[in-house]
Structure 1
Amino acid sequence: MISLVPSWAVYNEEFWETIKHRNLWFIKLRYGAVLMLFAFIVSSEFLLGIGFTQTQLVALTLINCSILVYNGILQWLRVYLKCEPFKFNPLHFSLVQMVLDLSALMLLVYFTGGIETPLFMLFVFHMIIGSLILPGTVIYTIAISVVFIFFGMVLGEYHNLISHHAVAGLLQTPLYNNFKFIVTYSIVFGFVILMSVVLANKIANQLYLMEQKLVESLEQLNAAEVEKQNYVIGVVHEIKTPLSAVHSYLDVILQGFLGPVNEKILAKLQRVRARSAEAIQLTNDVLKVSKLRLLDEIKKEEIKVRDILSSVLKKQRANFDRKKVKLHFKDNRKIRSKILGDKLLLEIAFSNLVSNALKYIEDEGVIEIILDEKEKGIQLEVCDNGIGIPEKDIEKIFDDFYRASNIRSKGYEGTGMGLSIIKHIVEKHNGTIEVQSPSRLASTNKPGASFIVFLPLE
């Protein structure tokens, strides 16, 4: 089997997807061409006053039916094609389509007047399409063949070697036997065909090569990102080890295992312990984000979102009771569909959302958690009447290490990684997350925030 695949495209998935898509596009266009040819025959006969002989009508009908039949066969065969560079593949399939279409068009041109028919201009359209798919040598060979066959047909009609099928009512004076006319038109036709192929093929090759360079650049960026995240993980692990050791030693001291500690020193040590705990939490969050970014695919299983939320709320029950927060959990779905996703990751995301709401709400506040069904997915809303998020911070709130200005000013502890982790997890599930502040539970001094997560069913 002759290979038509350029060396740079052998393992280029985007190239194969493009060829398959265009093959399907050509098949759909061909059905339209059949309808237009039928309309052309009918309108020419009854509206334009152009008459066809019995032979022409039979030939045009047979050609149109043949196009319809082979197009149906091509559509059936297309399903079984595989993208194997050194076997019959979608590129060979494109070549077969091209040859069949050009053969049908050549017959149409012959039976509608040869050099006298305007249909011969459609060859240009086919040459441009072929140039977008087929290699240069192949399309140049086809273009030269078309020009020579067309010129041979025209000369054959001129010398009466083959019959000329004139279309009555199209021209007042026959032109097929005018030598100057046929030579001039044939030369111009050949020039237009070849120039169309040269220009279209050159542009197509440039676009393919540009696309290949972009793919290679993207792969290099991904490789650099993987290397960076691995480096971050290594560095953070090295930092975390001494931090954990310091934290453990502080626990030993604060728990009195080394004897009594002065109250002033004890207060200082407790502050140091709180800061060390915050630093350890920060390293853990950085590790989570780095590992999430390294995940190419997540483990997917059927999940009941309500069950995950119930588990999260059960674990947070003590914190709700401690702050006397009123919780309203509603499931408004008529059909409780399952989603495909990673149960552990989603539990982390939902837990962080609920923890954030609890953290930034005052005692006796209100938190609403609502599940709704949306088109092709599930929507989860976590809404509170807490301190809210200033408008200027909303755009950056999901950035790594970013903390809202009102949180920093009020002394809330945190790493600024919680919402970033949630966003990464949601996006790994092809979902979206957005925030609104003030929320619909807002009051004068309690603007609140509402986080809305959408997760697709598939």
Structure 2
Amino acid sequence: MIRLIPSWAHNYTEFWEAITRRNLWFIQMRYWAFLMLTGILLFSYLVLNIEYSSIQLIACLIISVSILTYNSLLHYFRRYLKCEPGRINPLHFSLIQMVLDLIALLLLVYFTGGIESPLYMLFVFHMIIGSLILPGFAVYSMAFISYILLCGMIMLEYFGVIPHHHLGGLLGVELSGNLYFVVSYMLTFGFTILLSVYLANGIAKQLYKRERDLYDSLIKINAAEKEKQKYIMGIVHELKTPLAAVSSYLDLILQKFLGPINEEVEEKIVRAKFRSDQGIGMINDVLNVSKLKLYDEFDEEDVNLAGLVAAIIRNRKVTAEAHLISLTFNDERTKKEKIRGDKFLLNLAISNLVGNSIKYGVDEGNVIVTLKNKNGGQVVEICDDGIGIPKEDLEKIFKDFYRSSNAKKISTDGSGLGLSVVKQVIERHGGTIKVDSPSGIGSMSNPGACFTIQLPVK
């Protein structure tokens, strides 16, 4: 097995994807080349009155059909290739294409005049293409072999070992017997093909090196990001501990375990308790974001979406009633399939959206959660008739630490991380989320918002 793969590319997915795309591009280009070759032969014969012998016409026809045939076979077999260094892979496939093309081109050059053929420049074109994919030693080897074969063919024609196929009507005299022209041709062609390979392969090598450096830098950045998230989680968790202790002590005081307190002091303690709980909530948001960014994997299981949403509705019912808000759940699905996902994270995301709808709702308002089937997936809609989201805030609403302008006026608490976490959770599950405001169930004064989550059924 010819080793064509550089060591750094063994596990580099982007490298293999690029080679696979280029292989397909070469195959598509070869179909066009077949059509162009056929068109050029017909045009030169019928319009330009180039005089082809019967042998030349038959040979060119056979070569053209052969190109179409092997290209069709390559197109078929490419789908079975795997990007595995130890087996036949896309790089070997590129080499096979190049060898077949060079054989076909050598025969075409021979039957269209040899040293007189205008098609010989296509050798340079093939060498440049090969330099963009194959390593240097492979391209230089192919260039050397092509040069030796072409020069050998020219010399065999010169000494009369093989017949020369002159193109009548293209040149007035035969050049295959002119020693000075033959030598000049071979030297010029050799210099041209060597320089082309040197320049193209050098540029390709630099590009691959730059791409490899960028890939290594990306790995380092991701590692640094993980370390940063670990540090943030550690610091934030340490901040949470004293706040939780303060909140617990305030609970003891408010529940009068330490004795009675007057109303003025109690009011201030209630406000302090609210602020400490607000701080704990913000810390939990930061921890959730850090966990999502730190851990690439999650606990995947079969999730009953209806059961999950129903549990969230039950848990939020008391809060909704306290705000005089009607909380409704409708399951309109015709196919009630389970989805694959992390139950905890999905609960976190949907619960956050329901909580926001309640928090920014209005007295005697409505929050409607609906499950639907759409495009082969499951859709969760959380719609309300609350304050809504201004048009200028819609595009930014899922950014970290961003809160809509009207939400800030109503409530000062909130980190602006909740919707960012929701979006990351949904995208981690291969889904999408969007928001519309007005919601469709609101009014002019309270337009409401409607969040639509679409999750795939795996």
Contact 2:397 2:404 in 1 (8 A): yes
Deviation string, structure 1 residues 229-259 (Cα, Å, up to 9, x no partner):
1111111222222222222222222222222
2:17 matched to 1:20?
no
> Which position in structure 2 is the counterpart of 1:403?
403
> Which position in structure 2 is the counterpart of 1:265?
265
Deviation string, structure 1 residues 369-389 (Cα, Å, up to 9, x no partner):
455555565554433221223
- How far is 1:352 from its partner? 1.0
2:29 matched to 1:29?
yes
Greater shift, 306-315 or 273-282, is seen at: 306-315
Contact 2:313 2:327 in 1 (8 A): no
Q: Secondary structure of 2:15's partner?
A: helix
> Which position in structure 2 is the counterpart of 1:173?
173
Contact 1:2 1:86 in 2 (8 A): no
- Rate the CA distance shift 1:270–1:376 in 2: closer, same or farther, 3 A: same
Q: Secondary structure of 1:435's partner?
A: strand
> Which position in structure 2 is the counterpart of 1:229?
229
> Which position in structure 1 is the counterpart of 2:421?
421
Greater shift, 217-226 or 393-402, is seen at: 393-402
- How far is 1:225 from its partner? 0.8
- Rate the CA distance shift 1:392–1:21 in 2: closer, same or farther, 3 A: closer
Q: Secondary structure of 1:389's partner?
A: coil
> Which position in structure 2 is the counterpart of 1:210?
210
TM-score by length of 2: 0.88
Separation (CA, whole Å) in 1 of partners of 2:451 and 2:415: 19
Separation (CA, whole Å) in 1 of partners of 2:372 and 2:184: 71
> Which position in structure 2 is the counterpart of 1:163?
163
Deviation string, structure 1 residues 348-373 (Cα, Å, up to 9, x no partner):
21111111111101111233445555
Q: Secondary structure of 1:99's partner?
A: helix
Contact 1:385 1:441 in 2 (8 A): yes
> Which position in structure 2 is the counterpart of 1:62?
62
Contact 2:331 2:371 in 1 (8 A): yes
Number of residue pairs the alignment of both structures matches: 458
Separation (CA, whole Å) in 1 of partners of 2:69 and 2:17: 26
Separation (CA, whole Å) in 2 of partners of 1:73 and 1:140: 27
2:450 matched to 1:450?
yes
Amino acid in the other structure paired with 1:347: N
Separation (CA, whole Å) in 2 of partners of 1:408 and 1:108: 75
> Which position in structure 2 is the counterpart of 1:106?
106
Residues 357-372 of structure 1 correspond to what in structure 2 (within 5 A)? 357-371=357-371
Amino acid in the other structure paired with 2:264: K
> Which position in structure 1 is the counterpart of 2:154?
154
Separation (CA, whole Å) in 2 of partners of 1:457 and 1:198: 52
Amino acid in the other structure paired with 1:430: G
Identity between Structure 1 and Structure 2 (%): 52
Q: Secondary structure of 1:316's partner?
A: helix
Contact 2:317 2:327 in 1 (8 A): no
Contact 1:377 1:456 in 2 (8 A): yes
- How far is 1:117 from its partner? 1.9
CA RMSD of aligned residues (A): 3.0
Separation (CA, whole Å) in 2 of partners of 1:268 and 1:239: 23
- Rate the CA distance shift 1:447–1:53 in 2: closer, same or farther, 3 A: same
Separation (CA, whole Å) in 1 of partners of 2:217 and 2:453: 32
Q: Secondary structure of 1:284's partner?
A: helix
Contact 1:278 1:415 in 2 (8 A): no
Residues 247-262 of structure 1 correspond to what in structure 2 (within 5 A)? 247-262=247-262
- Rate the CA distance shift 1:60–1:306 in 2: closer, same or farther, 3 A: farther
Greater shift, 400-409 or 203-212, is seen at: 400-409
Deviation string, structure 1 residues 294-350 (Cα, Å, up to 9, x no partner):
121334445454443344334333344444434565666666665443233222211
Q: Which runs of 5+ in 1 are unaligned?
A: none
Q: Which runs of 5+ in 2 are unaligned?
A: none
